Structure 1
Amino acid sequence: MEHAITEDEAALYDRQIRLWGLEAQHRMRNASILIAGMRALSNEVCKNIILAGVGSITILEHELVTEEDLGAQFLLRHEDIGRNRGEAAAEKARLLNPRVKVIVDQEDITQKPDSYFTQFNIVCLTGCNPEQSIRIDKACRESKTGLYAAGVHGFFGYMFCDLTHHEYREEVQEPSVDKGKEPETVISHRSQDYDSLASTLETCWGYPKPKALKRKVSPLFFAIQILWLFQLANDGKLPDNSSQEDVDSLFKLRDERLKSAQVDGAFVDDDLLQTLVGTASAEIAPVCAIVGGFLAQDILKTLSGKDAPLLNYFLYNGMEGTGLVHHVEKKKA
């Protein structure tokens, strides 16, 4: 059942409505979003989309709060240690905006059937291993459910977007028919097709051609892919920097992939990859704030139907303070 925006809500979200319109706010007001995994990154995402006035958020998390979680997760307190991470965070999240329904699901994501994810407008996976991300993305594509997959590894962060087929409105400037007058602003209706996560992973090492890759793509993109290859080969586990076996295995995967794809080793920065491995399981609050802010903004943009969302990867390097967007297409026949 759709809920109309009340006068109180219109007053509360006045600045947002002025920005993207009443119709867009209405769509957000009736949207259902799944946040899978409660980490520092998802703390930021929850905060921003709850304050924006979405309809409901479901937090899917089966892990318990540990002392390590308190370093970067501002929705948790010391007294929450030992509680379900999602339930503890939800209590603080509800206080941000009582108008938003916050639901907690304490089951393990690995036990959820594909049909579970299709009941939402947007599915947002944070820190999910690549095998599960690929499975869930496939299910979401079949039901035209928008999917975001994101994570933070120490100084580095990434996000991937798959909306299958997305239609949106965009303001464009067109020359006035009368000479001497200012250009006219018109609303243009546009659409964009998205590639699946699996197809981009299959082709990112060989398409586009290496010369184009060297000019356009951040070395962090390939470093993240190597990290995912390690997880796919080790049941989702992140490499332990203190384990020489893990480090050797990761660099062996790097060499094998470079050789099989016939890609120059210069595309992978060894120092960057080593730093990524060393901080793979760490959450640094400022990095989470930046990536989480960008992620939440893009989710809201998708729901509003105004302007083009991310297409389709975003890589953030906190050591350099740079964020780059890359459009990775599936390999053309």
Structure 2
Amino acid sequence: MAARILIAGCSSGVAAEVAKNIALAGVGSLSLLDDALCKSEGAVCNFLIPADADQAQSVAEVSAATLREMNPLVKITALPGSLPPIPDVEFLRGFEVILITSAPFSTLLQYDAACRQLGVAFFMAASCGSTSFFFANLHSHEYSPLDTPAGEVPSKGVSAFPSLASALSQPWKTMRARYTHKLVYVLRVCADFESHAGRFPAAADLPALQERARELAADARVAASADPASAPPPRDLITEDVMPADILEEYVTGTVELPPVNAVLGGVLANEVLKAVSHKGEPVNNFFFFSLGDNVGLVENLGEVV
């Protein structure tokens, strides 16, 4: 009830789902940061914006007003402006948890590093058509298991989380194609593209992204053949088609979010945010993926703890 949580980028349906679930759970304070106007195209999936809302108001202002009606006991604030590309450490110090949606990898990497420095839990999430995911970094997180038998003193558990930079640089040769979620490869290639091009890829860049995926797959196979002792079985080797074109296109072109996907991801993510502040229950470490293609929620642990 004393938790202070920030959600930056409230236009998305995932952000709306998480904000709703957190507000109804009764946290101490929830701050929303998004100066996009309600009439903007990106806000169409935010169900917190009523049909008769003032279209000249920001998404954060209107969403905050709706959430206050849902739970007047929670302090809900709409902050002015938008998320700055470079983190303001003093500003971040005022929160226990920060969730960012709809930001470039360059910004996300800086905020993850700043949150690690301050000990602030960091989350980022995205929903793209039929596929969605979130990333969590709780640093070194102590928690009490939920399944302790009655009468026994709960033993503390500790989860150590890799940084976002480490997770996005996971070598392809260490991944098993049959068991790794396909969006992992999409994120890896898009992050690689952005680091070189200085911008998020667009539809015209899809052929280049596919070519980069082929290069990384070839490098992974060469590395595996050079070290047979640590290589995965042949059926798990990375191949050229490990990054499906439809999932890549959905992620890059910003296909409209699907409410059912947002509801699932937003429910799981809100629960993880509450775990982060309550220290009750083992947290997801560190990626969670959900897609309508298989209707399965998959946890992936990527990167190394430094």
TM-score range, shorter chain: 0.7 to 0.9
Tell me the TM-score normalized by structure 2.
Answer: 0.85
**Whole-Å Cα distance in 2 between the matches of residues 106 and 274 of structure 1?**
34
- Choose the corresponding residue for 1:309, options 273, 280, 283: 283
Match of 1:329 among 300, 303, 306: 303
Q: Give the SS at the match of 1:109.
A: coil
The structure-2 alpha-carbon separation of the partners of 1:69 and 1:331, relative to structure 1 and needing over 3 Å to count, comes to closer
C-alpha distance in 2 between matches for 1:114 and 1:261: 38
Counterpart of 2:259, as a letter, is: A
Task: Give the drift of 1:274.
Answer: 4.4
Per-residue CA deviation, residues 167-206 of structure 1 (Å, 9 max, x unaligned), is 11115567xxxxxxxx965411111211110011122424
Shift of the 274–215 alpha-carbon distance from structure 1 to 2, 3 Å rule, reads: closer
Q: Which runs of no fewer than 5 residues in structure 2 stay unpaired?
A: 222-236
C-alpha separation between the residues in 2 aligned to 1:265 and 1:120? Answer: 43
1:48 to 21, 46, 59: 21
Give the paired residue count.
288
Structure 1: how far apart are the matches of 2:171 and 2:75?
A: 39
Partner of 1:80, secondary structure, is coil
* Aligned alpha-carbon RMSD (Å): 2.5
Unaligned runs of 5+ in 1: 1-28, 175-182
In the alignment, is residue 60 of structure 1 matched against residue 33 of structure 2?
yes
Asked which structure has the greater CA Rg, the reply is 1
Kindly state the Cα deviation for residue 103 of structure 1 after the two structures are TM-superposed. 1.2
1:226 aligns with 2:189: yes
Matches within 5 A, 1:13-162: 29-38=1-10, 39-66=12-39, 68-69=41-42, 71-78=44-51, 79-110=53-84, 112-162=87-137
Higher mean C-alpha displacement, 100-109 vs 292-301:
100-109
1:204–1:328 contact (8 Å) kept in structure 2: no
When residues 105 and 228 of structure 1 are mapped into structure 2, their CA distance, relative to the original with a 3 A threshold, is same
Residue type matched to 1:35 in 2? I
Structure-2 separation of matches of 1:250 and 1:98: 47
How far the C-alpha of 1:290 sits from its partner, in A, is 0.8
User: Whole-Å Cα distance in 2 between the matches of residues 138 and 200 of structure 1?
Assistant: 13
Normalised TM-score (structure 1)? 0.78
Q: Distance in 2 between matches of 1:191 and 1:258?
A: 34
Aligned residue in 2 for 1:257: 216
Distance in 1 (alpha carbons) for counterparts of 2:13 and 2:140: 30
Classify 1:236/1:60 alpha carbon distance in 2 versus 1 (closer, same or farther; 3 Å).
farther
Structure-2 change in CA distance of 1:304 and 1:204 (3 Å) = farther
C-alpha distance in structure 2 between counterparts of 1:303 and 1:146, whole Å: 9
Summarize the Cα distance change of 1:77–1:85 in structure 2 as closer, same or farther, 3 Å threshold: same
Cα drift, residue 308 of structure 1: 0.7
Residue 231 (structure 2) pairs with residue 268 (structure 1)? no
